[in-house]
Structure 1
């Protein structure tokens, strides 16, 4: 029986630096993608359980991997006495229009396009429930676009316009000193702070899916998250960035309805990155054959690899992956990509996770 878990990462007042390929130190993302999270957890796993890591990675090469997980996304929790523990979970907006979306959207199309992340309640209504309300939703988006009337409708109550309030970014000044000449170099590093005040607390969450009950693996992953939280997630860890505490939860009822959604003609929207070998994958062939029934974006993923035993740092091979929010007419599975650098002497292979996790949706137009 498939088991799901929801893991919340609480950064409290700790800053974090989440880099992306093509983004310098001065910029930071507000979240971590699934491949980066996988690499961080596997790196810690290898240190804690060195005798088990090779076996675990081999299991990920099988048709049914030990677990799948999503990318991290922002959650927001109300801390007021009148509304305690009320959570808003944000999800990437699928790259298709919801059912009921009108053809004439000129008055609010810019406001709609700015909604990159949707609260779970709105995501479910638009893509699994009643769909887009061509009157009330359209009017509220139009008012938001024109900024003439403050929105007070269902969209506002769902916190769809509050995503930008959940985090703030800033640039920290730093100085690098050359060891040989003592010359100084001034630079800035971008960091993100998550909302943490008397009314709201924000952080990151991700979903874990196990193909069957596995108490031992869950225990080990909890141990991994304990150490990862102490060391930090993302960059600038030597400065104390990225430290978090976590909550390991059974999937709440609001999520149960989403993952168990069923119907005759369903599509699947990614909540993780997705990769499969373009020359051998039947999934890629399905995308080519069903070009009209898919909608996706492809991003390039790269970065550095640090081999603990040897201290070697080299660039991983770059690959192109399907982005979160991409929609397919089938349920994508994905695979691990071998991104070991040429002439790498670390004594092990280097992988990037392209294992897919998706949610069922009802297509619109």
Structure 2
């Protein structure tokens, strides 16, 4: 299997919901299980969903996805492209413990790092005060919202008005929806570890079809449609990986749900982690339903382990789904994508 990087650009904006009340909030990332579920709907329109699910439910899945993260131009050199990688949840190694205490609060504010800094962080190579300052300066350039004070930012969030009508009285009420707009040379990128053709070609075809279908919420209003660019081997886009320090630690770039064989060893493998709940409604093909799928608790992006863990698909079909007209099972993807 080979790892590829692909870029998605959203010309009319997108809405990627966040947990909470209302639709005002939107985030600049898409989780791997949400992206995978959207791709399965694209495969369904291609008539290949059953084949994909059969192949995925094994020890050697045909492809494993990361979540989607922001990319954009370098503020110092607009011709250069930067990629935001989640900061590992472990603490970096330093020459002086007091140094980490002084810089701890600022380091915790960092959300993203550049790939080569992630590798240094995971390798536990001791950093000096100057090294930590360099890491922080580089991190400030990543995934910044744009404004009049920061015109080099990668994206901006706006609120669009919507009107809801009461079914019985027809009285109207206004509400607001958050919309994410990327600049023309920014967007989201993802990584996929995929078998050679025909699976690589099938994955690309489904991804391009999904671009026409749309990703995220508010697709009725045209949001979420995207173009696909730069489907290239990872080493070509991140050449620094070839000279990177070897490390046994792995950074989770997807959501992860352990399979039964991995459960007993999690305590000895995981070094730092956090959880995130996944919930929502069932979407089948191009149609949303009013059926709620079962909730799951995933390990989230940024978790660190001493070795890669496989994970598994999880059946989240509602208990009474078939009785309510649901004609198929519903799955979420908890397979781990680990870096490097």
TM-score relative to the length of structure 1: 0.82
- Partner Cα distance (2:243, 2:301) in 1: 20
Count of residues paired in the alignment: 327
Shift of 1:267: 1.8
Question: Which residue of structure 2 lines up, in the alignment, with residue 77 of structure 1?
Answer: 73
- Is the contact made by 1:287 and 1:294 (CA closer than 8 Å) also made in structure 2? no
Partner-residue secondary structure (3-state), 2:97: coil
C-alpha change, 1:309 and 1:330, in structure 2 (3 Å) is: closer
Partner-residue secondary structure (3-state), 1:243: coil
Task: Provide structure 1 residue ranges, at least 5 long, that are not aligned to the other structure.
Answer: 141-152, 361-365
Shift of 1:218: 2.2
Q: Which residues of 2 match residues 196-211 of structure 1 at below 5 A?
A: 196=184, 201-210=185-194
- Partner Cα distance (2:238, 2:314) in 1: 30
Question: Which residue of structure 2 lines up, in the alignment, with residue 65 of structure 1?
Answer: 61
- Is the contact made by 2:214 and 2:223 (CA closer than 8 Å) also made in structure 1? yes
TM-score relative to the length of structure 2: 0.87
Question: Which residue of structure 2 lines up, in the alignment, with residue 284 of structure 1?
Answer: 263
- Partner Cα distance (1:26, 1:203) in 2: 20
Partner-residue secondary structure (3-state), 1:294: strand
Question: Which residue of structure 1 lines up, in the alignment, with residue 215 of structure 2?
Answer: 233
- Is the contact made by 2:157 and 2:178 (CA closer than 8 Å) also made in structure 1? yes
Residues 147-167 of structure 1: per-residue CA shift (max 9 Å, x gap): xxxxxx5653x3544422322
Question: Which residue of structure 2 lines up, in the alignment, with residue 4 of structure 1?
Answer: 3
C-alpha change, 1:57 and 1:136, in structure 2 (3 Å) is: same
Question: Which residue of structure 1 lines up, in the alignment, with residue 36 of structure 2?
Answer: 38
- Partner Cα distance (2:131, 2:243) in 1: 26
Out of 70, 76, 93, which is 2:87 matched to?
Answer: 93
Two-structure CA RMSD over aligned residues (Å): 2.5
Question: Which residue of structure 2 lines up, in the alignment, with residue 118 of structure 1?
Answer: 113
Out of 203, 207, 224, which is 1:221 matched to?
Answer: 203
Question: Which residue of structure 2 lines up, in the alignment, with residue 17 of structure 1?
Answer: 15
Residues 225-281 of structure 1: per-residue CA shift (max 9 Å, x gap): 222212211000111111210112232435365389674x6121100000024xxx2
**Does residue 172 of structure 2 align to residue 184 of structure 1?**
yes
Task: Provide structure 2 residue ranges, at least 5 long, that are not aligned to the other structure.
Answer: 145-152
Question: Which residue of structure 2 lines up, in the alignment, with residue 316 of structure 1?
Answer: 293
Q: Hey, which bits of structure 1, 4+ residues long, moved more than 6 A?
A: none
- Partner Cα distance (2:272, 2:284) in 1: 37
Q: Which residues of 2 match residues 229-268 of structure 1 at below 5 A?
A: 229-247=211-229, 248-253=231-236, 255=238, 257-258=240-241, 263=246, 266-268=248-250
